[in-house]
Amino acid sequence: MSARKDNIRITIFPNKSFQKYTDVIIKQIESCEKKTFPKNEAMAVKEEVSKRTNTLLIAYYEQDIQKEQCTQKLKSTSKPNDHQRKRANKPNMTITKEIIVVGYIIYSNISSTQMPVTRILKLCVHHSFRRIGLGEKLLRNVLERMDVPKRSKADLHVDVERTVAINLYKKVGFNIIKRIVDYYEVGRDAWLMEFIN
Ligand SMILES: CC(C)(COP(=O)(O)OP(=O)(O)OC[C@H]1O[C@@H](n2cnc3c(N)ncnc32)[C@H](O)[C@@H]1OP(=O)(O)O)[C@@H](O)C(=O)NCCC(=O)NCCS
């Protein structure tokens, strides 16, 4: 994968302009899930995204792909001359656009009688694009969209062993509230973290 940091954009997905890339984008996210998380934590992307309360943001870049197409066909009835043969064999270059997903965040909007809660369900950055500020950008983007802490609280669960993610959450303003024993499975605990202004 190659892209300059300033070519990477963030958008809500699915959206109209990416309609024809929907399957490809979902496949990329599923592949990232499989590579990054244990089997029982890999999210069913299509299902999660289709839930009314969930929102997915992707960090992506666009790439032009040149493809060769031999469109010219020789008529079988007449014998082609050299010029016709050359033209027939000359590949037609077509350029198509590809969307490459380099990170994503999914959050849920939980309504409550008091203040609604924005729950971060998943955050992941492709390993080749880590440490350039994308995880932080995705997370801050969600907090801004949901107007945390003015109009919404924010919280999340994170595996106590995921030090890198915990560092990121702390940097952005989340604090550890409590340890939840066996949250992921027996022997794997989570921190409940909340955004504190
Ligand atoms: C956690 C994750 C999303 C971080 O994404 P990222 O884009 O690399 O993070 P950023 O570049 O935005 O870094 C922001 C902050 O996170 C922390 N951080 C990121 N990478 C770190 C590392 N390797 N070691 C220590 N702290 C790190 C730092 O506090 C960093 O701030 P700094 O650059 O000022 O030191 C990414 O490592 C990832 O996808 N990990 C696997 C999946 C995961 O654990 N997800 C979270 C649980 S669902």
Residue whose entry in the numeric block shows the structure tokens 């027996």: 186
- Average pLDDT estimate for 64-72: 73
Burial class (CB in 10 A: 0-12, 13-18, 19+), 84: middle
Domain boundaries, the chain: 5-195
The minimum-distance atom of ligand 1 relative to the CA of 139 is 12
Reduce the secondary structure of the chain to three states and give it as a string.
Answer: CCCCHHHCEEEEECCHHHHHHHHHHHHHHHHHHHHHCCHHHCCCHHHHHHCCCEEEEEEEEEEEEEEEECCCCCCCCCCCCHHHHHHHHCCEEEEEEEEEEEEEEEEEEECCCCCCEEEEEEEEECHHHCCCCHHHHHHHHHHHHCCCCCCCEEEEEEECCCHHHHHHHHHHCEEEEEEEEEEEECCEEEEEEEECC
Q: Which pLDDT band, with edges at 50, 70 and 90, does 11 fall under?
A: very high
The region of weakest confidence among 19-28, 68-77, 109-118, 130-139 is 68-77
- Average pLDDT estimate for 164-190: 97
Q: How remote is the CA of residue 166 from the centroid of ligand 1, in Å?
A: 8
CB 55 within 8 A of CB 123: no
Q: Ligand 1 pocket, 136 CB below 6 A? A: yes
Q: Is the pLDDT of residue 86 over 90?
A: no
Q: Is the pLDDT of residue 76 over 70?
A: no
Q: How remote is the CA of residue 116 from the centroid of ligand 1, in Å?
A: 27
- Average pLDDT estimate for 10-19: 94
Q: Which pLDDT band, with edges at 50, 70 and 90, does 182 fall under?
A: very high
Q: Ligand 1 pocket, 132 CB below 6 A? A: yes
Q: Ligand 1 pocket, 120 CB below 6 A? A: no
Query: Does the bond joining 38 to the residue before it have cis omega, within 30 degrees of 0?
Result: no
Task: Give the global pTM.
Answer: 0.89
Q: What is the pLDDT of residue 57?
A: 98
CB 56 within 8 A of CB 44: no
* Amino acid identity at 21: Y
Q: How many CB atoms lie within 10 A of CB 154?
A: 24
Q: What is the pLDDT of residue 71?
A: 56
- Average pLDDT estimate for 136-158: 97
Q: How remote is the CA of residue 37 from the centroid of ligand 1, in Å?
A: 15
Q: Is the pLDDT of residue 69 over 80?
A: no
CB 105 within 8 A of CB 123: yes
Choose which CATH entry (3.40.630.30, 3.40.1190.20, 3.10.180.10, 3.40.640.10) describes domain 5-195.
3.40.630.30
Q: Ligand 1 pocket, 10 CB below 6 A? A: no
Q: Ligand 1 pocket, 106 CB below 6 A? A: no
Q: What is the pLDDT of residue 138?
A: 98
Q: Ligand 1 pocket, 59 CB below 6 A? A: no
